[in-house]
Amino acid sequence: MSDRLNILYNKKPCYDIVFSGDFQDLAAELAALEIQDKKICVITDSHVASLYGDEVMDILQGICKKNVLFSFTAGEKSKTLDTVKDIYTFLINEKFDRKDLLIALGGGVVGDITGFAAATYLRGIDFVQIPTTLLAQADSSIGGKTGVDFDGFKNMVGAFYMPRLVYMNVGVLKTLDDRQFFSGFAEIMKHGLIKDAVFYEWLLEHMYEICDRDTDTLLEMVEQSSKIKKAVVEKDPTEKGDRALLNFGHTIGHAIEKARNFSLTHGECVALGAVAAAFISWKKELLSMEEYYEIRDMFVPFNLPISMEELDQEEILRLTKSDKKVEGDSIKFILLKKVGKAVIDRTVTDEEILNAISEIHYVEDCE
């Protein structure tokens, strides 16, 4: 029997997150959603389709009315309204109605697009998340954020829309390449940094098992990380307040992601953004110098960068200020008071941001 967490939405039980080391319990979990008379569309990308498409389609065979698969080109560039339109067309051609079900099989892009298509097709049909990257398991599959990028802005169009089930198989993490694995790990570290010092210490103590991708350690890590995210999203499901704490590292991180044209992974940018935010926290005397350097250096054993060459400081400042986390003229920055305690701060100046970007800008010493 797999472990599970039940996520509340507006204080009512909403959906389960199931934690498993394989897909063995998937059929039973889906059967509990009474799918025997439903059509199911598995939505995935070209990469994940070749890895897990057949396995998941085989599991669905005979337990639902009909199962079909829709696959789009892997990558952030597909996270557009055009892909959503292609999904609508496919669902209409396959005669999907409101009682049918979508399954998002893949990483964050697949989950966000599928969730948005589910939220809007026929004013809302059910969907299930099967996240296959650590980034999606740690972050994007929990909490009901769905959407697409628009006009160069990340996640600009979307909806809060809850899945019926999230099935996390940590077994799939074994086939992730190192960069993708550690990209997701940055979000897990973020959860410890903003909310739970004990979990953060546990991560550091289990560094070797995590890097070796030991199944039991991954199960424990993903479940504990999900508990932290659960507590935050249940308290503030639509980001009116404290859910913004989850954006620690993302304010400058998103700007770097865009400035470097998505050549860095999301987690690499979050790590750089987290170092910059911790630096600002030190300069504002929220953290001590020792705390800042400890936080910064602990990204290194997990293959995450703490500085980067070719960061155009003015461009990153401009992009930081054009992010949707800006309210009026003030940027909603997430800073740290200590490990495990994050705060929202609206007083960060352009000069403080430029100094922080300079701190993470690696310039080779020519002498």
Binding residues (CB under 6 A) for ligand GLY: these are: 139, 143, 145, 243, 246
- Degrees (nearest 5) of the Cα angle 302, 44, 264? 35
Instruction: Using the minimum distance from each CB to ligand GLY, give the nearer residue, 143 or 273.
Output: 143
- Tell me how crowded residue 23 is: count the other CB atoms within 10 A of its CB: 18
Give whichever of 145 and 164 is closer to ligand GLY, judged by the CB atom. Answer: 145
Q: Which is nearer to ligand GLY, 233 or 311 (CB)?
A: 233
d(CA 207, CA 180): 17
User: Looking at beta carbons, which residue is closest to ligand GLY?
Assistant: 246
> CB-wise, 153 or 208, nearer to ligand GLY?
153
- Give the separation between CA 109 and CA 114, rounded to whole angstroms: 8
CB of 154 to ligand GLY, least distance (A): 11
Residues 316, 269 contacting (CB under 8 angstroms): no
Nearest CB to ligand GLY, comparing residues 101 and 233: 233
Query: Would you say 245 or 304 has its CB closer to ligand GLY?
Result: 245
Q: How far is the CB of 74 from ligand GLY (least distance, A)?
A: 20
How far is residue 129 from each of residues 26, 89, 145, 197, 319, measured CA to CA in Å?
Answer: 11, 21, 12, 29, 31
Pull the structure tokens for residue 101: 């079900």
In the complex, what is the shortest distance from the CB of residue 224 to ligand GLY, in angstroms, rounded to a whole number? 17
Nearest approach in angstroms of CB 159 to ligand GLY is 13
Least distance between ligand GLY and beta carbon 143 (Å): 4
Q: Which residue has the tokens 């913004």?
A: 244
Q: What CA–CA distance (Å, rounded) separates 112 from 110?
A: 6
DSSP-based three-state secondary structure for 47: helix
The angle that helices 350-360 and 250-259 make with each other, rounded to 10 degrees, is 60
Q: Is 6 exposed, middle or buried (0-12, 13-18, 19+ CB in 10 A)?
A: exposed
Cβ 145 to ligand GLY shortest distance, Å: 5
Shortest distance in whole angstroms from residue 245 CB to ligand GLY: 9
Nearer to ligand GLY, 64 or 135 (CB): 135
The tokens for 39 are 């059509």
